Amino acid sequence: MEKGINSYILGKFGTGQGDIRRYSPLVLAYIGDGIYDLVIRSMLVGKGNAHVNDLHKKAACLVKAHAQSEMIKALQPELTEEELAVYRRGRNTKSFTMAKNATVADYHRATGFEAVMGYLYLKDEMDRMMELIQKGLEALGNPSQKSHPVGMGETERNRDEIRGIDD
């Protein structure tokens, strides 16, 4: 079995990893935010050379709390019991910060989404993490994905921003 990125990094720096199940949901969301952002940036850069400002705008559209909230709403039926428990812990945790331009509900759901991403990353379950991200992007109507269902309740402006990723 091939090592995941996390195991590779920890091995190179000679550090171990504690029991992931005991990690705070905010720690899971912290690392999940970073790995999800890296996946989105990699996806965008993989499409070819572009102006950095354009890449930033496209990435910001997909990593904002509202987009993550919509993704996790669509993904909930796909989650295992274990993933659902991590999501609920992340969603329900008390946070002392708030995303600008996000509702409280969107922010809580996005924190749960990021916690699931962090959990899967720390478990080296990259295939599962990528599967969920792909399905979530499909649910947003991202044209770079295989199917394009209409997004679940996002505004026309948000839908246009998301579809602009292939521009």
Active-site positions read 33
In 3D space, the residue among 104, 86, 99 whose CA is nearest the CA of residue 27 turns out to be 86
Distance CA 16, CA 162 (A): 38
First to last CA, the chain: 37
Distance CA 103, CA 156 (A): 18
Q: What are phi and psi of 134, to 5 degrees?
A: -60, -45
Place of tokens 């008390």: 94
